Structure formats: C-alpha cells, structure tokens
Chain A
Amino acid sequence: MQRWRSMNISRLPHSSLLAIALIFLACSCSRAPESYPPPVQVMLPPGPEPAVVLPVSRLALAMSDPDIDTHVLRDVYAELHATEWRFTGLHPAFRFDVDERHHLDFYIRLLIGDDSLLARGPVEFTVNINGHRFRSYRFSYPGDTEYRHPVPDDWIAVAGPIDISLDINPPWRLPDGTVYGLFLNSIGFARRSK
C-alpha cells in the first residue's frame, strides 16, 4: 500500500497523454504514395450481346421485366426508378398468366419511404384477384416490404390469364399535384411456405 502511494508518478499523466497524441498523430499520416502510373487499360468485351432467353413461366411480375408494359392494364407510371421500381397510381391493374394454380400466396414487394409515411401515414390496399377481394394490413413501417396473403385455389383455378388490381388508400399527394399509390417492385404470387 505504502509502496503504491510513494511512487513518483506526477509526471506520468503528461507523458501518457503525449504517447496517445503521438499514436494518433502517427496514424493520421497518410501512407498513400504521392502519385500513381496509369493502370493497365481495360479492354471491354468484344462482340454482340449473347441472346437472352426470358423465362417462359413466372409467378410474379417484376417491374424490371422487359415485357412488363404488356402486362400493365392501368395506372402504373412509365418512368422506371432505379431500374427495378415503379410508382403506381391509386388503382393499378395487371394481367398475366401463371402455370401453377395451387397452394399460392398473393405476393407483393413494395417500398414504404420515410417521406411518404410522414406525408400520408400508414397505407393499406384492397387486392382484387379475378373479382375476389381482400384487404391488406396497414403498412405503418418504412422500408423494403414483402407482403403475402393466402389465395384460395378456386380464385385462380380458371384457365387463362389472371387479373390483379389494387385500390390503395390513402393517396400520397406531392406538391406538384402528382398522386402516388405504391412504389412497386413486383406483384403476383409466391409458393406458399410449408
């Protein structure tokens, strides 16, 4: 005890602080060389693009699908945002064919933005599949969101393309008068998880 107290350490705080300062100072020195030579030049791949084989069957429409416009019946804005997302109006509708007709969930992937949530509050929508309707829950949290809802087999058992439409509420009105419904990535069906 006495030995501890009798240690002459009055100068240590300064030296230790100096040590810390030196460590940080040394770290702040950049190790970057002053200059670099030009790198090896990249040779872009020659020749034409290989042909694309689009999938013949799908369960959901993605806004990035090359043929998406042929499946939009109404109320989806043409401008493509960040290649994979599109704004919809309040009553978007789609028509497309699916091969599987059993044990499917309705599936939608949308982005709830902080700004839209602050402007209009939680959003919800009614889904209409071949004339059968159900209401989604209220989306009250921001972010990239997936929503699934079981679909009775008989709703989609009939042959031919399936019509899906949404009625979205409330609208998101921008100052310039534009009215948005959802910011959509994909819509359709997904296999029901076991």
Chain B
Amino acid sequence: MIVRILLAAAFTICVSLALGKALLAGMRIKLGRAEDLFLAFNVGAACLSTLVFLLSVLHLADAGVFLAAGCAILAVAAFTRSLRLSAPTLDRVPRPWLMLFAALYTAGGLVYLAAALCPESSPDATMYHVALPALYLREHHIPAITTDLLAGLSEGMEMLYLFALSLGGDSAPAVVHLAFLLALPWGILSYARRIGSPGAGVVAGLLFFLSPAVALDGTTAYVDVALASVVFSMFYLIEIWREQHDDRLLVLAGLLAGFAYAIKYPGGLALLYLLGVILIHRRWRSLAFALLPALIVMTPWIAKDAVVWSNPVAPFANRIFSNPYLYPSSETDYSRNVGSLGALNVWQLPYDLTTRGTRTQGFIGPVFLLTPLAMLGLRTRAGRRLLVAAAVFALVAFEVHYARFLFPALLFASLALGMVVARWRLVAVGVIALHAIAAAPYVMTKYASRAAPRMEWPDWKAALRITPESAYLGRHLDAYQFGKLMDAKLSPGARVFCFRTFQFEYHSHPLVVEWQSALGVRLGESLRGAINPEYQPGSRTALSFSPVTARTMRLVLSGPERTADWTVSELRFFEQGIEHPRAREWRLRASPNPWDVQLAFDNSPLTKWATRRTAAPGMYVEVDFGKPQRLDRLTVDSADQTGELTLQADGRPVAVHTERLENAMPPRLRRAAIENLERQNIQALAIHELDPGSRDFLARQAQWGIELAGTSERYNLYRLK
C-alpha cells in the first residue's frame, strides 16, 4: 500500500516535471539548474491539471487513461531530451548556510512525509479536495453537481489529486501536495541566489517551511501551499523577465497566473499582479503573451461554472449571476462565516494569526511577529518588489482571515524578512532556531489556542499502514464510522439530508447539506419550520379592494428597504370570500428569484418563495390568470409581518385595505416536512447531536415518520418511512 501511494505520487510529480521541462525546452528558455527544476515542476503541474480536466470532461477519468497519458508524456520528454539537467549558473550557497538549511529541511521533511502518508483525515480534503476527485473517478467524468457549493470552486489542484488518487488511492494526493511544500524552500533559495542573497534564501525558506500553519496544510490534501508555490513561481519568472525582457517568460508566468486562479479564487490576484507589472513597464504588446495562456488555464473552470451553475464564478457573485442553485443570502452567510473575526478586534489579529490561531484556523508562528522588520528591506529594489508582492497578496485578508489564505503573502514577507535578518548571521540563526522550536508539536501546545488546528507528531505506524487505515480513521476522522453505517443501512446511492457537512470520501451517498445549496436551504427550512415558530408563516396579510376584473395581478413590495428578505409562503385570491382555485392555465412570475415562485402556490406552509436577498421596493410576485378574473381580496401568508404591499391589476394600481391577521398552523407539520423531503428524493437524515431538533427527531420519530436506522459517533441515521 505504502509503495503504491509513493509510486503514484512520484509518478504525478515526474509527469508534471516532464511536462514543464518539455515546455521550457520547446521554448528554449535557459535557466539555472535549481530554478529550472522548481519552475518546470510548477509549470508542468499547471499543464497536467488542465490536461486531466479535459480528459475528465471527455469521460476519460480513469486510472488506465491517466497512466497511459503520463507514460506518453514521460516518453516524449525523454525522446526530445527535455529531461536533461541544465547547467548550474547561480551563486553557490555558503557552506554554513547550506548545512543549517540541510539539517532542518531534512528533519522537517521526514516528519512531514510521515504525516502526509497517514490516511487522509483532514476536514476539507475529506469533504471536497479529495472527496470530489474520488467521486469524479467513480463516475469517470466531472458530473454536474448543483447541491454542493464547494463543487463550484475552481479545482486546479484537485485535477492533480484525481490523477494521483486514481493510481495510489486516498493518501496519494497529500503526498502530491507535500511535493510543493518540499520544493518551495529550494525555489526560494534559488531565487535568493539569483539576487545575490543566498543567506536570505535559507532564512526565508526555513521560515516558510517550518511555519505551523504551512506544515499542517502542506501535509494534507489542501491546496494552499501549492498556491503559494505557483504564485512564487510566477513572481520568479516576472523578475527574470524584468531583467531579460524576454516575452517567452511571460507565457509561463501567464500560465502560472491562470493556474493560481484554477487552484483557488484568491489566486486571481496573481493575474492582476502580473498584468500590473507589465503595465508598469509599459510593455503593452507583452500583455497578450501573459493573458492568453492565463485564459487557457482559467477558462475551463469559468466555463464549467457557467454551464453547470449559470454563474462563471460560482459560488460567489450570485447577485450578478442569478441562478436557481445558490441564493445570494447563502453566499452572504458563507462569506460572513469565513470572514468573521468574532469577538476579536482587528488589532488582535496579528497576534492571533501568528501565535494563537483562535479565529484564523491555524497560526503561522510567533517569530512572524518580527515581520514589520521586513520594512527595512524597502532600501533595496529586491526588497521593495517582495514587499509589494506581499502587500498585493495580503489583500485577501480584507475578506478572509484564515492563515492559509495568506500563504502567498507570507512567502514574500518571509523572503523580505530573510533579506533583513540574514545580514547578521547569529541573529538569523537565532530567529530560525526560535521558529523551529516554536513549531515543535509539544511546544505549540504551550502558546497556541486549544481550538487552533495544528500538526501533531505523525503516527508512524499509521503512515506505514502497520495500523490499519480503518482504525486510524475511526480515531481521527469525524463521521468515518457513520459513513460505514450509512453504507450498511441504506440502499446504494440513497440521498441523505444533513444540517452540517461531514466527510464524504469514505462512503458512497450523495449528501444534501443545508447550507451548501438552494435546495438544501429549502429542505432545512421546512424541517425547522415543522418545530420552530420562527420559520412558520404565522402571519397573514389580507388585502381587500373594490372588485376588479383583471387578467394579471402583481403584488409589489413598497416602503423602505428592509434588512431581511421578503417571503411569501402562500398567496391566495378570493372573490366574495371564495378562493379561486389554482388553475393549470395560470402563469406565475416573481422578481427576484423567479425559480422559486411556485413555492408560494403549492399549498404547503413549510415552503415559500423568498427574495433571498435584502428586500427592496419594486420586488414582486405576479399571476397571469390566462383570462380575466373578478377579484376583491387576496391573502399573503409569511413568517414575518410583511412590509408595505401594493397591488397592480393589469399594470394599474389598485387601492387596498390591509389587515394583519394570525395564521394558525395545521397539525402534523413534522410529517409534512418529511414528505417534502421525499418529494426531493431524500431517503435518509443524518442528524448530529448538536443539530437543530436533534432531540425532537429522536423523541418523536412516529410524528416525523422516520425510524432510527443506527447511531455512530454523535450522529443518528434516520430512514424516511
């Protein structure tokens, strides 16, 4: 098993390297040996990722196809003699620096390798970075998923993971990611040698390499270290271009900028940085050299989201690219969640980010509190460029405070700081020693928050598979046993609703998670509405008016803008106290969110049409009756006291008298909610102890119409009857 994992990861790395070397050789770009290998690996990874995407779109996501493609690439690279090492042309690293670097790099690298080889149990990897590629491999293509907003994110690294896991299983992706982490210090060092500061390269390489947040991320199948590596490679090529003005380098830089976007949306800053540098140099014609390759790598992800989600940048910008699959309000909640500092003040952020990790999902190490010293680097041109790059990539902090989102900025800041402290060798050694000590797992427990994720000493037995995978995962991965329970108790492919997301790498059931899609939000609301009055349409607004005969009636929201959205659970029309039954020839319209308008006319108090964004005057629900109808009253059921409403009959305003009434809820709402889930082909519920209504589901199974199929960890699995 362990050999298979290592071979698969090595194959992925070698194919990337071969692709990059072949491209560099084909373009006749001459680089020093160390930088040639580093840059070729990153460029080749971009090419391989795009190739895997194209194969997957063609329904060729298969281990045999990937193996054949990889072998073909290696053969072509060997045949064209692209794999030959280039001549060493950069400054040598002084021996004391090299020994310091080699010692800490080797020690850290071995520990990291063991951590990466452990069965994959990191949250994001088991929820999408590896779970989605595993799904693509099972399906042999990339299916259109509209019930998981995480599937809308660009997946550049996930394509490399797909390639690796098809050959090596679930642990191979983490080793591929580790390759970027292992390559980065060498890349930083070679850049520092190019600018004549090898000592700075040693310091910066080790500062980044030993950072606790970097170590945790780089030894799992996350994507952030790879993003930092790709961004730095782009920066490296731009710096060489600034020396040589050879536009071929911009082709590679553009390719990497596009790949940065493909790895993670914040990587889009790389393209802005690249174009900015070109524009500053007033090399207008060079723009195309950078832009076109970037587009080649970015476009597949933009196109995929445009086709699947009707939104080229899903899951964001849903206000601009309205679609039926994600609500703008869900996007707001998601952004607020990842961008929230909670009770932390902004001035506490540097301490939290470096030392505590309370709200930043990891910490980069207390030594980085020295980062302001890097400003001394402003005196040199190289220092200024590094600090500008750090500032550009730190812009992401305005939106997200997670440590891993700041890795590209951290890398540039490390190098700028390294250039300053490397002037005094003893100080540099002291800084690195402090950083290394602070990164030791035992020491981290002394200063970091208990809530902060951090790397622990790797379980060597698990890494070598002496401890069985299932035993390790049962201890380290939430809901691993529950996944097995689902596989045992549910029919294959049964769709499961849950309020919270959990791993879906180690089971085969599609999950509809409440916060991950419009469908999930609607189903979650109907379950909550069955037991929580806040979600029930307890308010009825009756609009009475002089009898009118009209073909269309439009209910329009007026009055001041509101902070909440406007909801309509049921809209009914009357004449002389008798309701007009809903007829097949009626046509329903709404703005915004036209896709949900039927939910205001389905006779269920548990479903609703809602604006799903801040309610504003002019939003409406409209009915075209197909023929003129005589009406004198309508009622609007909603969860809140609806704001001021006006009515238009065939486009003409109608004077109305408004009454606020109470709307009594019918009995058996719990069962009605379950039937609503069944209509969406949900066959089971996965309820965590801390989920809303968890006690109610357990105590009132008969009222819900569900039965407990099993319990594992803190989850209950219910089958819908």
Listed in ascending order, the chain A residues whose CB lies under 8 Å from chain B are: 1, 4-5, 9-10, 12-13, 16-17, 19-20, 23-24, 26-28, 30-32, 34-55, 62, 64-65, 82-84, 109, 114, 117-118, 141-144, 146
Beyond A24-B312, A39-B599, 5 extra complex contacts between A and B, CB < 8 Å: A34-B589, A38-B583, A42-B676, A53-B699, A114-B342
User: A172 to B320, alpha carbons, bound, how many Å?
Assistant: 42
**Chain A CB within 8 A of B284 CB:** yes
Find out whether the CB atom of B358 lies under 8 angstroms from the CB atom of A84. Answer: no
Closest 10 pairs (CB-CB, A-B):
A35-B587, A12-B288, A50-B702, A38-B582, A42-B604, A117-B343, A27-B306, A39-B598, A45-B671, A45-B668
- Distance from A180 Cβ to chain B, minimum over Cβ atoms (Å): 16
Is B321 within 8 A of A28, CB to CB?
Answer: yes
Contact with A along B20-44 (1 / 0, CB 8 A): 0000000110000000000000000
Find chain B residues with CB under 8 A from A142 CB: 342-343
A48 to chain B, nearest CB (A): 7
Q: From known contacts A41-B603, A109-B690, infer whether A35 and B624 are also in contact, taking CB-CB under 8 Å.
A: yes
**Residues of chain A contacted by B587 (CB below 8 angstroms):** 34-37
Task: Determine how close the nearest CB of chain A comes to the CB of B362; give it in whole angstroms.
Answer: 15
A45-B672 in contact given A5-B247, A9-B288 (Cβ < 8 Å): yes
A23 B584 Cβ-Cβ under 8 A: no
> B295, A27: Cβ atoms under 8 Å?
no
Q: Are A23 and B358 in contact (CB under 8 A)?
A: no
Given contact pairs A51-B702, A52-B702, A45 touches B675 in the complex (Cβ within 8 A): yes
Report B698 CB to chain A, min CB distance, Å: 8
B288 touches A13 (CB 8 A): yes
Q: Number of B interface residues, CB 8 Å? A: 71
Q: Tell me the bound Cα distance from A24 to B306 in angstroms.
A: 8
> How far is B28's CA from A37's CA once the two chains are assembled, in angstroms?
63
Q: 8 A-B Cβ contacts within 8 A?
A: A1-B246, A24-B312, A27-B306, A42-B603, A42-B675, A45-B675, A52-B700, A142-B343
Whether B287 contacts A44 by the Cβ 8 Å rule is no
Choose from B291, B449, B532 the contact partner of A83 (Cβ within 8 Å). Answer: B532
Q: Which residues, 622 to 675 on B, are CB-close (under 8 Å) to A?
A: 624, 666-668, 670-672, 675
B: residues with CB less than 8 A from A are 27-28, 246-248, 284-285, 287-289, 291-292, 295, 299, 302-303, 306, 310-312, 320-324, 342-343, 358, 449, 451, 531-534, 582-589, 594-595, 597-599, 601-604, 607, 624, 666-668, 670-672, 675-676, 690, 692-693, 695-696, 698-700, 702-703
For B306, give its contact among A23, A37, A52, A54 (CB under 8 Å): A23
Q: Chain B residues near A51: list those with CB within 8 A.
A: 702
Decide if B602 touches A16 in the complex (CB within 8 Å).
no
CA distance A46 to B343 in the complex (A): 48
CB contacts (< 8 Å) of A38 on chain B: these are: 582-584, 586, 588, 598, 601-602
Which residues on the A side are within 8 Å of B532 (C-beta)? 82-83
Which residues of B sit under 8 angstroms from A50, Cβ to Cβ?
702-703
Report yes or no: A30 in contact with B668, Cβ–Cβ below 8 A: no
Known: A16-B295, A30-B322, A38-B598. A49 touches B451 (CB 8 A): no
In the complex, number of A-B residue pairs with CB atoms less than 8 Å apart? 153
A118 CA / B344 CA spacing, docked (Å): 9
- Closest chain-A Cβ to B588's Cβ sits at a distance in Å of 5
Of all chain A residues, which has the CB nearest B307?
Answer: A27
Q: Chain B residue with minimal CB distance to A47?
A: B668
Q: How far is the CA of A118 from the CA of B345 in the complex (A)?
A: 10
Q: A23-B306, A83-B531 are in contact. Are A44 and B601 (CB under 8 A)?
A: no
Instruction: Kindly list chain A residues whose C-beta atoms are within 8 Å of the C-beta of B698.
Output: 55
Task: Point out the residue from A1, A39, A52, A82 that lies within 8 Å of B703, measured CB to CB.
Answer: A52
Taken together as a complex, chains A and B put the C-alpha atoms of A106 and B584 apart, in Å, by 59
CA of A45 to CA of B704, assembled, Å: 11
> Which one of B292, B624, B693 lies within 8 Å of A12 (CB-CB)?
B292
Contacts of B320 in A (CB 8 A): 28
B340 nearest CB neighbor, chain A only: A114
Known: A27-B310, A49-B667, A83-B532. A141 touches B284 (CB 8 A): no
Select A62's contact among B299, B321, B624, B695, beta carbons within 8 Å: B695
User: Smallest CB–CB gap between A60 and chain B, Å?
Assistant: 10
Q: Once bound together, how far apart are the Cα atoms of A54 and B589, in whole Å?
A: 45
Taking CB as reference atom, which chain A residue is nearest B449?
A: A141
Complex contacts, B299 vs chain A, CB 8 Å: 23
- Closest CB in chain B relative to A183 CB, distance in Å: 14
Residues of B contacting A19 in the complex (Cβ-Cβ under 8 angstroms): 295
B342 touches A141 (CB 8 A): yes
- Expressed in whole angstroms, the Cα–Cα distance for A109 and B323 within the complex equals 38
Nearest A residue to B624 via CB reads A35
Whether the pair A32, B595 counts as a contact (CB closer than 8 A) is yes
Q: How far is the CA of A178 from the CA of B324 in the complex (A)?
A: 44
A64 contacts across to B, CB distance below 8 A: 695-696
Q: In the bound complex, do residue B695 and residue A36 qualify as a contact, i.e. CB atoms below 8 Å apart?
A: no
Residues of B within 8 A of A20 (CB): 295
Taking CB atoms, residues of chain B closer than 8 Å to A5 are: 247
- Indicate which residue in A1, A31, A82, A114 contacts B534 across the interface (CB closer than 8 Å): A82
Contact of B312 with A27 in the complex, beta carbons under 8 Å: yes
B668 and A23 contacting across the interface, CB-CB below 8 Å? no
**A30 CA to B323 CA, complexed, in Å:** 7
Q: Which residues of A contact B700 (CB under 8 A)?
A: 52
- Contact at B582–A41, with CB atoms within 8 Å? yes
Residues from chain B with a CB closer than 8 A to the CB of A83 are 531-534, 692-693
Contact, CB under 8 Å: B343 / A32: no
Contact between A42 and B690 (Cβ–Cβ < 8 Å)? no
CA distance A143 to B342 in the complex (A): 9
Q: Nearest Cβ distance between residue B168 and chain A, in whole angstroms? A: 34
Question: What separation, in Å, do the CA atoms of A30 and B531 have in the docked complex?
Answer: 36
Judging by beta carbons under 8 Å apart, are B695 and A35 in contact? Answer: no
Choose from B246, B302, B533, B589 the contact partner of A23 (Cβ within 8 Å). Answer: B302
Which of chain A's residues has its CB closest to B305's CB?
Answer: A27
Whether the pair B322, A41 counts as a contact (CB closer than 8 A) is no
Contact call A27/B311, Cβ cutoff below 8 A: yes
A31 to B595, CA, bound (A): 10
Pick from B291, B604, B624: contact of A13, CB under 8 Å: B291
Whether B589 pairs with A52 at a CB distance below 8 angstroms is no
Chain B's closest residue to A60 (CB) is: B695
Minimum distance in angstroms from B43 CB to a CB of chain A: 17
In the complex, the chain A residue whose C-beta lies closest to that of B604 is A42
